[in-house]
Amino acid sequence: MQRLSVLFAAPRHITVVEDKAPDIRPDQVLVRAIVSGISAGTEMLFYRGQVPPDMPVDTSITSLAGPMGYPLKYGYALVGQVISVGADIDPAWRGRRVFAFHPHESHFTATPDELISVPDDIEAEDAVFLANMETAVNLVMDGRPMLGEHVGVIGQGVVGLLTTGLLAQFPLGRLVALDRYPLRLEVARTFGAHLALDPATRSDDALHSALAQGRGADLIYELSGNPAALNHAIALAGYHGRIVVGSWYGQKQALLDLGGRFHRQRIQIISSQVSTIAPEWSGRWDKARRFSVAWDMIRRLRPRRLVTHRVAVSEAAQVYALLDQQPEQALQALLTYPEL
């Protein structure tokens, strides 16, 4: 049995390699990929060579363990089906659909504890959003939105849109989505944003008024991946306002204006990262509980409507180039896999 794998050979150089599918150990299962999702945020940092060279690829995902360096396999949102089980594995695993935090490749082995069973009522193209939905759930938890608050979400990529969709479930005073791409703003409105605005077309004062009617925003999420957006968030925040930073900037530096407004308005900047549970939640929450909530939110939002491109894995290089050079044309790109 042959395997196809996406390889980040060098910055902005994607190849698809073919080799023999791995042998299965007694404590493993063999998974055939159905579909995998490309992260237009994190994966673009790896694609562009913007990841710090002295950091591990990922400290929480077994399949991504190891130091940063090219060539490498990357990706963390794959849905597949178990096609074979090792001698020590319950045969009931055979045929099961699973989600895996695993690079883009057609076949791989894993132990059952590295896989998440996909509920029977959730389609593969919805299930592939589990990682991003878990991130959105984590962002909402870290921001702690309250009744009647005025909330802004800067950046309406997939994670930003899912976060907007979750926030729209709350009885907020106002929910404003900010992005420069018309396609994203249009979808943000369908996801429940009261206003969806291009910040480039308005001054900070005008955005301040639109978002919070002169009082400043209670809560702002910075999800654009652009460090410069943090200064816009500071300008829009009200007294003791909360700014939740969900972006990962890689090697990009944030030049922050921490002068008068940030200092005198007691503005809070909160880091949100999904690999762990925030200490204030860990007494009652674990990863399993958060995944359960994420599945429920997938049922509610049906995120497959964000899919704009479905591309065979053999054509992966073209879709990465599109996401890099023409991001305004895409939301979620999926790779599909042949039955080899």
Q: What is the pLDDT of residues 291-309, one digit of tens each?
A: 999 999 999 999 999 999 9
- For the segment 48-63, the average pLDDT, to the nearest whole number, is 65
Secondary structure of 112-156 as H, E, C letters: HHHEEECCCCCCHHHHCCHHHHHHHHHHHHHHCCCCCCEEEEECC
Measured between alpha carbons, how far is residue 199 from residues 159, 163, 212, 237, 287 in Å? Answer: 18, 18, 15, 15, 35
CB 220 within 8 A of CB 167: no
**β-strand partners of 311:** 335
Tokens at residue 222, please? Answer: 């910075």
Q: What is the pLDDT of residues 113-170, one digit of tens each?
A: 999 999 999 999 999 999 999 999 999 999 999 999 999 999 999 999 999 999 999 9
Peptide bond into 71 cis (omega under 30): yes
Q: Rounded to 5 degrees, what are φ and ψ at 292?
A: -60, -45
Sequence-separated (6 or more) residues with CB below 8 Å from residue 144: 219, 242
Task: Give the residue among 222, 215, 260 at the shortest CA–CA distance from 238.
Answer: 215
pLDDT at 66: 61
Amino acid symbol at 308: T
Q: What is the pLDDT of residues 7-53, one digit of tens each?
A: 999 999 999 999 999 999 999 999 999 999 999 888 888 899 888 77
Higher pLDDT, 110 or 43: 110
Q: What is the pLDDT of residues 258-293, one digit of tens each?
A: 777 777 789 899 999 898 899 998 899 999 999 999
pLDDT at residue 67 is higher than 60: yes
The sign of the torsion formed by the CA atoms of 157, 122, 273, 321 equals negative
Higher pLDDT, 64 or 254: 254
Tell me if the pTM is above 0.85. Answer: yes
pLDDT at residue 58 is higher than 60: no
Can you tell me the distance from the alpha carbon of 14 to that of 322, in angstroms, rounded to the nearest whole number? 12
pLDDT at residue 186 is higher than 70: yes
Kindly list the structural domains of the chain, giving each domain's residue range(s) and its CATH number in brackets, ordered by start. 2-118+302-336 (3.90.180.10), 132-271 (3.40.50.720)
Residue 155, by phi and psi: left (phi above 0), alpha (psi -120 to 50) or beta? left
Tokens at residue 65, please? Answer: 């363990």
How many percent of the chain have pLDDT more than 90? 70
Q: Angle, nearest 10°, between helix axes 229-236 and 204-212?
A: 50
